[in-house]
Amino acid sequence: MKVRIFADAARASRAVARLVARQLEVQPASVLGLPTGRTSVAVYKELVRIGPDFSRARTFNLDEFVGLPAQNRRSFHAFMDRHLLCRVNIPAGHVHFLDGAADDLDAECARFERAIAAAGGMDLVVLGIGANGHIGFNEPGTTLFARTHRARLTAATRRANAGLFAGRPSKVPREALSMGMGTILAARAIVLIATGRSKARAITAMFSGRITPSLPASFLQLHPDTTLVLDRAASRGL
């Protein structure tokens, strides 16, 4: 695992945006896996500023809340439109989301896996991390789903996502659809960004050498091309 530590969150975000821009330069038809969350906002802002050519890129978002249609402004789909997709030249047909409002959620997860495979797999997946070590919506537990699945959100994760729901954790859906750790680990390259003190514990635990479902991020140790981009606060336990 490569680790790059920056003085602050702005510099770390810029570094991740540059990595994505470079990926698109080298391979314009890249398939990207993309996250949501507060950390990603600064990355997308910088990416929009750099302005790489997205005309041949394809994107797959990691996860989506169950019950929210794409048009709902609290959905991750709407989040991505606001922060990135409506601001770059990506064709609408190149953008892929899980539909949290699908009638048959299991069929929706299977469709998404097939779509990723049909695109040739992901070249680069960008990840954030939850304070409890979750990736996408792969929550800590005794087992992890390998592939895209329906996930129950922990109280901590619902609290962490309350920002999209007027600060009210009780309004955050109890379930989500998420790529599995196997889906993510099948990407050719992974970049994880973590900024701020609240992420330091999970980042330190990733380096304990143990791979355990109680810390989903620890599975990234199994991947041959993972880069961790941290600010000083998130790296303080290393």
Kindly list the catalytic residues.
63, 132, 134, 139
Closest CA to 38 of 148, 199, 152, 182: 199
Dist CA 210 CA 205 (whole Å): 8
From residue 62 to residue 101, the character string flagging contacts with ligand GLP as x (rule: CB under 6 A) and all else as - is: xx--------------------------------------
- Residue 56 or 165: the one with the smaller Cβ distance to ligand GLP is 165
Which residues in 110-169 contact ligand GLP (CB under 6 A)? 128-130, 136-137, 157, 160-161
- Residue 161 or 235: the one with the smaller Cβ distance to ligand GLP is 161
- Residue 9 or 89: the one with the smaller Cβ distance to ligand GLP is 9
Would you give the end-to-end CA distance of the chain in angstroms?
14
Does residue 39 belong to the site contacting ligand GLP (CB under 6 A)? yes
In the complex, the smallest distance separating the C-beta of residue 23 from ligand GLP, rounded to whole angstroms, is 19
In the complex, the smallest distance separating the C-beta of residue 134 from ligand GLP, rounded to whole angstroms, is 6
> Which residue's entry shows tokens 């299991």?
106
The crossing angle, in degrees rounded to 10, of helices 76-83 and 38-50 is 30
Strands (E), 182-225: 189-194
Size of the site for ligand GLP (CB under 6 A): 15
- Residue 34 or 88: the one with the smaller Cβ distance to ligand GLP is 34
Dist CA 172 CA 40 (whole Å): 19
59 CB contacts (<8 Å, ≥6 apart)?
Answer: 31, 32, 33, 34, 80, 85, 90, 94, 95, 96
The region of 2-10, 30-38, 67-75, 221-229 touching ligand GLP under the rule CB under 6 A is: 30-38
Interface residues toward ligand GLP, by CB under 6 A: 35-39, 62-63, 128-130, 136-137, 157, 160-161
